């Protein structure tokens, strides 16, 4: 809380209301009391808002949210429950959730657990009965900032103690979180899109002779792997620290740079030299989100932190090559600075919200990337052509290699 001069006031005299068993505090001194969901405990991270109306389970399990607390602007979070098939990662890397209302009993034929019980299973802490509209407006006006959720039904600790704890939370700038969420050893992927009639994912039909794609894992979502697999490709997923020599030894017909969390400049310290070698190899490259930013940095561009980022399922993006507008799903807090792109790189997509860069392509190579998430069914199929474009680049590369 703040006085009229904008300075933080002491929190020693602030009394917890009787109804509250949880509290959310922001680093600027703002305080929101509410009711806890998930496991009791304390969690902190960068508070950011997501405007999606559906897909809360996929959002919470997206590795790109590592180090962040998610503010859901849609009021009915938890209404369709959770299930074992909709997770984008096996672990929950997000640092907490904030919802407007306590989740109701779930109602959906695919539901196995309520959101509350599922969060407990994932050892995740959240808070409900928060004015998320006011909180979102606050973040829009003042920018994303670190926050802390404290949930304990028996012990309401002094708020000054919590603010001291919040002060230890690192800023997102300079954080290399890809190493936290990336796989530790390589693995193969054998799953395609879901068969709606059976409510299961199809097994891959790729053959030993099918194109081989190496996915560099900065925090890859499962649905990205399914979309690539659906093209008919064999997939090997490798850690983000893999060297160019190791990647090339796998004899890929294409390399995919995945999404992921953290500051791209920090992550790129050990990745940029690898990407530069891959660019020189002539192998087709496709990047999404953090992969897009890392590719841009390898090409000589720069990135910057955004005030509150792009996170939601309704972001309009203009394809500058076709002039068509795509409705996209997005989740990023950094962006590529268009003015820093070299002349050899073409900007292919821009955000119609703020004009920031949303895509690029190297004019003389089979290399391209986008800032948004085409695998997340935005539009719902506005952006699926990007995977087909990657496939066509792969076939072209294989033809050229066979003729050489």
Residues annotated as catalytic (active site), given as ranges:
289, 373, 375
Tell me, what DSSP letter sits at residue 178? Answer: H
Going by C-alpha positions, the residue among 111, 128, 106, 104 that lies closest to residue 36 is 128
350: CB partners within 8 A, 6+ apart: 317, 318, 320, 338, 356, 357, 358, 359
C-beta separation of 217 from 258 below 8 A: yes
CB atoms near residue 314 (< 10 Å):
14
Return d(Cα 101, Cα 129) in angstroms, integer. 5
Going by C-alpha positions, the residue among 12, 31, 45, 60 that lies closest to residue 138 is 31
C-beta separation of 17 from 35 below 8 A: no
3-state secondary structure 232-282: CCEEEEEECCCCHHHHHHCCCCEEEECCCCCCHHHHHHHHHHHHHHHHHHC
Residue 167 is encoded by which pair of tokens? 């002060």
C-beta separation of 237 from 215 below 8 A: yes
C-beta separation of 366 from 285 below 8 A: yes
Can you tell me which residue has the tokens 């009915």?
76
Going by C-alpha positions, the residue among 325, 320, 267, 46 that lies closest to residue 166 is 46
Return d(Cα 328, Cα 379) in angstroms, integer. 6
Beta strands 41-50; 68-72: pairing state: parallel
Residue 163 is encoded by which pair of tokens? 């603010």
Return d(Cα 305, Cα 267) in angstroms, integer. 14
């Amino acid at each position: 809380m703040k006085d009229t001069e904008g300075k933080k006031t002491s929190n020693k005299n602030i009394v917890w209301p009787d109804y509250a068993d949880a509290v959310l505090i922001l680093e600027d001194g703002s305080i929101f009391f509410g009711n806890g969901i998930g496991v009791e405990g304390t969690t902190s991270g960068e508070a950011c808002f997501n405007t999606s109306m559906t897909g809360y389970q996929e959002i919470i399990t997206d590795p790109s949210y590592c180090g962040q607390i998610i503010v859901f602007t849609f009021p009915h979070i938890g209404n369709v429950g959770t299930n074992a098939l909709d997770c984008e990662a096996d672990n929950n890397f997000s640092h907490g959730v904030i919802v407007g209302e306590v989740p109701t009993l779930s109602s959906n034929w695919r539901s196995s657990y309520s959101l509350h019980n599922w969060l407990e299973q994932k050892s995740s802490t959240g808070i409900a009965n928060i004015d998320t509209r006011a909180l979102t407006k606050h973040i829009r006006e003042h920018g994303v900032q670190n926050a802390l959720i404290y949930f304990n039904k028996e012990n309401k600790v002094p708020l000054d103690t919590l603010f001291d704890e919040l002060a230890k939370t690192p800023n997102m700038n300079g954080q290399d979180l890809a190493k936290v969420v990336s796989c530790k050893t390589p693995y193969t992927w054998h799953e395609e899109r879901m068969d709606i009639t059976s409510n299961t994912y199809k097994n891959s039909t790729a053959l030993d002779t099918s194109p081989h794609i190496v996915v560099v894992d900065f925090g890859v979502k499962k649905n990205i792997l399914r979309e690539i697999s659906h093209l008919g490709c064999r997939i090997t997923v490798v850690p983000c620290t893999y060297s160019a020599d190791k990647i090339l030894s796998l004899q890929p017909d294409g390399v995919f740079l995945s999404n992921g969390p953290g500051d791209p400049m920090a992550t790129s310290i050990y990745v940029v030299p690898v990407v530069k070698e891959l660019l020189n190899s002539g192998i087709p490259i496709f990047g999404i989100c953090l992969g897009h930013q890392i590719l841009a940095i390898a090409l000589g561009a720069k990135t910057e932190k955004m005030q509150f980022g792009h996170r939601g399922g309704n972001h309009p993006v203009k394809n500058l090559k076709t002039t068509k507008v795509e409705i996209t799903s997005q989740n990023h807090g950094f962006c590529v600075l268009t003015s820093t792109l070299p002349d050899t790189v073409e900007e292919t997509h821009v955000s119609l919200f703020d004009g920031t860069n949303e895509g690029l392509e190297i004019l003389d190579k089979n290399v391209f990337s986008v800032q948004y998430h085409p695998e997340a069914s935005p539009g719902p199929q506005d952006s699926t052509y990007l995977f087909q474009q990657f496939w066509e680049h792969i076939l072209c590369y294989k033809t050229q290699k066979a003729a050489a």
